[in-house]
């Protein structure tokens, strides 16, 4: 029953912007910890941003701080990732994830095992 569906990926020139969406269903969205992770070919999955959907606390990996913004719309059960000032190094498959627990800690960015539910991913490609 739990489903996470990403959308909004695409190809963009360096310096451009994209907004990713993650539509969630099958769980209590308003009291959860959700995040965006990404994986480039030949590299491991890394945490990008996390949000506590109950308290709206947010955390970002250093490389995207100031450029990316994670947000939520509880009425639509949707989490967004606004990406501005995109760089070629941002090229990756981006995944939406929901944690098994209802609280968030910044260290979860490096602990993907905390997240029990994952979407299929949406590709982001940034050209130089």
Q: What is the pLDDT of residues 4-55, one digit of tens each?
A: 999 999 999 999 999 999 999 988 777 789 999 999 999 999 999 999 888 7
Task: Write down the pLDDT at residue 102.
Answer: 76
Residue 124 burial class via C-beta count within 10 angstroms: exposed 0-12, middle 13-18, buried 19 and up: buried
Count other C-beta atoms under 10 Å from residue 89's C-beta: 11
Distance of CA 19 to the CA centre of its chain: 10
């Amino acid at each position: 029953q739990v489903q996470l569906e990403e959308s909004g990926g695409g190809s963009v020139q360096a310096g451009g912007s994209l907004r990713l969406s993650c539509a969630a269903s099958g769980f209590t969205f308003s009291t959860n910890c959700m995040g965006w992770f990404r994986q480039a070919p030949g590299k491991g999955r890394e945490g990008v941003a996390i949000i506590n959907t109950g308290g709206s606390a947010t955390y970002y990996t250093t490389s995207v701080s100031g450029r990316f913004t994670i947000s939520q719309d509880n009425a639509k059960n949707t989490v967004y990732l606004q990406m501005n000032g995109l760089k070629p190094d941002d090229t990756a498959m981006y995944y939406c994830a929901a944690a098994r627990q209802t609280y968030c800690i910044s260290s979860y960015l490096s602990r993907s095992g905390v997240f029990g539910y994952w979407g299929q991913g949406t590709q982001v490609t940034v050209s130089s």
